[in-house]
Structures are given as structure tokens and as C-alpha cells.
Structure 1
Amino acid sequence: MSLTIGFVLFPNLTQLDFTGPLQVMHRTPGATTHILAKTRDPVPSDCGLGLVPTGIFAEAPQLDLICVPGGLSVVEAMQDEETVRFVARQAEHARWVTSVCTGAFVLGSAGVLRGKRATTHWAFTDLLPLVGATHEPGRIVRDGKVITAGGVTSGIDFGLSVVAEVAGPEVAQTIQLGIEYDPAPPFQSGHPSRAPAAVKATADARYAKARETYRAALGG
């Protein structure tokens, strides 16, 4: 089957939110991938890596799957009318409407998450009700055609799940093997439920200001 996939870029996004699922899903048989932004200018990521769009919002085809990555700068994206309008327009007819990390709040600003179960980066899950969503714990949460993934690296799991649905588990597993996705982290601190208390407190403090910025932007 053919599959038209589009990723939404905006300045200072977290590049792994985007490149993780991109690396997985572009390998799907029959997939065509579009990397979309407001203009064709390179888009800076939050780690200094420039990302080059393959197309612009105004010329994008109707997508089968739209994916919005996140990043601490997503507050600007969710207040950008052109970006939000594009996501809302594509979401009407896309088969899957998806996000990774705080990209969920762009979906929320586009009205996509109202009445939906969803997830996002652990530091921001309490803000999901501000866009009409109910937080459901999970690395990947699906509610109808809306699929949201947790923070950053969960985008790889999300990508493999989508491939399994589109092309079957064997294809997804072949891609997983091809990219040698065989996680063996040196520490069991990748989620607040497992991180030591001191580590969690330090990480949580680093997100405190961003949480309040998001909350203000969402009217909470």
C-alpha cells in the first residue's frame, strides 16, 4: 500500500522527536515522506542541527499520517496560526494524526485532542486537560485515529507500532533489526516511576519554568 507521511517542523524542536520516527517510518514499503515547514529555509533544532524541509505547508498534499514533534519551544508553535491551521486542516482527512513528546500541545491547539486520551512528555502530562485531553499513562496512547507518544525516544516505539499496523509485524521487526533498536540503557532512570528521588527532583526542577510558560500559553 502507499502511505503519505508528513512531519511538521518548527524552530528549536527536539530533533530526536522528529528523526527517531522518521528513521523508522521512511523505511516502510510504499511510504513517501514529506518534511514540512512554513518556508523552505533550514529549521534550527534545539541542539544546533539544522533541518531542511522538503516542502512547505501551502503546497503539501493530503497526508495519510501527520506527525508533530515536540520540544521546549513548542509553545511558539502552538501559538503560530499558520502552523496550527495546517495541522487542523490535515487532521480532518488524515488516517492517523500523531505527535511525539510535547507536540501533543500543537495537536491540542488545533482542536484534535478534545475528548481524547493522550500522553506527552512526563513533565507536562498534567497540562493535557487544558487542551481537552485526558492523560493516559503509557509510552504510546491511541484513541481512534489519534496516536500520541511520550517523551523523545518514545517516537521510535511509536514509529515501529505504526509500521506494524500499516505493513505488518514482520516488516516492523525487520526495520527494528535493521536499525539495531535493542535498548539496554546504562541506568533505569528513564521514567519518573523508576528514577531515584534526587534525579527526579533535579529533572523536575529543570522543567518547572517551561511548565508555567506552557500553562500560561494554554490559558491555565
Structure 2
Amino acid sequence: MDRREFNTSLAAASLLNLIAPAALAQPAPSARLRVGLLIHSDMILLDLAGPLTAFNMMQVEVHLLAKTEQPVVTDVRLPVAPTATFDKAPRSFDVLFVPGGLKGTIAAMQDTQTVEFIREQGNAARLVTSVCTGSLLLGAAGLLKGYQATSHWYVRDYLAHMGAVVRTDRVVEDRNRMTAGGVTAGIDFALTIAARLSGEETAKRIQLLLEYDPKPPFNCGSPEQAGPALVGDVQKRRQELISEAERVSRAAGVAIKL
């Protein structure tokens, strides 16, 4: 090892000691946990960013997976570049993760190549996970049949069309499936999966580094808190997409032969 390689290794070891001392007992870097994160057009960037930040802090091997090599454009129009295409991705992951974004989810649910890729990877993965409407895509791939799961509140009931047992919790764990509610639930998901994979102390350290101590200015972050008037307004504004999500979910349920 030359001086440059030594200095690089020393810096990496120092960072690991800061973020996750427990990881020092884990396998060598070549045997790091492998995480595959699906990226798709019109996904919610925040769905991806929270979990991706936690995975990076855990120093896992991260792959951003897309159909092509072209960057995908997110809901806020910021592009995200894939690191591997479906045909060049590793054949199995310790964690498969799917973010949401209703418009992009609906399109992906109707894309045979995407659904088949998720099905194959999900069947091989150690953990199959999602945030927000990403669980609809897992459902379309037949990966939630008989599992408890959740999604964004305005579409989570549609999981039942694809054989899931619908839950309203912010993060739902059922065997090797882990799903989370809408958007900001991605941070709760990230800390939950960090605790599961790397231990509670590592998850707590990540939470502190993120300064995740939410104190929202308004008490309306769930349908139960927001009340029927505000809930109805949101549903009315998104009615076209919500109705399309129900149609596509029903069709997916038929396709996977419930």
C-alpha cells in the first residue's frame, strides 16, 4: 500500500469510527451490505434522499437502478443519474428500495420491464422496502401478497387490490418487507432500517447527525389530524391521479392472479 492509499484508508476508518463504531465488527468492505434503490421519472426526490443519506452514513454499497443510463427527472425537476441499468445491475441485493411519487409510480406500474425487474430483484433480496407510493409498485410486482404494508394515505387502501393487508402505521415491518407512509416517513424508515441492519446505536447516531427532531408548525400531517375539509381539498386536487392509481392497482391485482 502506497502513502496515498494509506491516507485514504485512514480517512475512511476515521469517518467510520465517527458514524458507526459498531460497523467495525462488520465484514470487510468487499462484503459490505449491497443496497439497490430504484429511480424512476417523477419520483419524489425526498422519498429517495432521506433513505439514501442514511444508507451512505452506514457505508453500504449503494446502486441507483434505472431502465436506461439517462438521468431521471424527479418531481422537483432535479435529475438523478443511475449507477446501473436493469440489465447491468447485480443479481441480488441485501436491500431493495423503491421510492414513490404518484405520477411516476402509476407509469412504472404499467411498464412491464420495470415490474418484472422489481419482481426478480424482490424475490432475491434479503429485505424488500419502499416509501410512499413505492409500495404500490411492490404490490404490482406481486411482492406484497399476504404481507402487511402501508403507503401514502390517499392510496394505501389500494394495496388491498394486490393482496396486501393494509396498515396505517408510519413504518410497517412484516417479515422481510418494510414499507413506509408518505414522503417524510422516509426518515423514519431510514432510521428503522439502520437499526435493523447496523444496530440501534448506529441508528441513533444517524438521527443525531441528521438533527432529526421534528416539530412541525402545524398539526395537520395526517388525515386524522388535518380533518375532513382539508383532506377533501387535497383529494379533490389530486382526484385524477388517485383514480388512475386505483384503476392500475386493480388491474395489477388481476395480473398477478390473486
TM-score between the two structures when normalised by the length of structure 1? 0.96
Question: 2:124, 2:159 → 1: CA distance?
Answer: 23
SS in 2 for 1:26: helix
Q: Kindly indicate whether residue 57 of structure 2 is the aligned counterpart of residue 17 of structure 1.
A: no
One-letter amino acid matched to 2:46? L
Which structure's CA Rg is the greater one? 2
Q: How does 1:199-214 map to 2 (within 5 A)?
A: 199-214=230-245
Question: 2:120, 2:250 → 1: CA distance?
Answer: 23
Answer yes or no: is the 8 Å Cα contact 2:149–2:179 preserved in 1.
yes
Cα distance, 1:196 vs structure 2: 3.7
One-letter amino acid matched to 2:215? A
One-letter amino acid matched to 2:222? H
Answer yes or no: is the 8 Å Cα contact 1:8–1:68 preserved in 2.
yes
Cα distance, 1:46 vs structure 2: 1.3
Cα distance, 1:103 vs structure 2: 0.6
Equivalent in the alignment of 1:34: 63
Answer yes or no: is the 8 Å Cα contact 2:155–2:246 preserved in 1.
no
Answer yes or no: is the 8 Å Cα contact 2:159–2:249 preserved in 1.
no
Deviations 1:140-172 (A, max 9, x none): 111110111000110111011111111111111
Question: 1:85, 1:197 → 2: CA distance?
Answer: 38
One-letter amino acid matched to 1:151? G
Question: 1:206, 1:126 → 2: CA distance?
Answer: 19
% identical aligned pairs: 42
Aligned-pair Cα RMSD in Å: 1.2
Answer yes or no: is the 8 Å Cα contact 2:162–2:250 preserved in 1.
no
Cα distance, 1:101 vs structure 2: 0.6
Question: 1:137, 1:93 → 2: CA distance?
Answer: 27
Equivalent in the alignment of 1:189: 220
Segments of structure 2 that go 5 or more residues without pairing to the other structure are: 1-25, 27-31, 252-258
Higher mean alpha-carbon deviation, 196-205 vs 19-28, is at 196-205
Q: How does 1:68-87 map to 2 (within 5 A)?
A: 68-73=98-103, 74-87=105-118
Equivalent in the alignment of 1:63: 93
Answer yes or no: is the 8 Å Cα contact 1:91–1:112 preserved in 2.
yes
Question: 2:84, 2:154 → 1: CA distance?
Answer: 32
TM-score between the two structures when normalised by the length of structure 2? 0.82
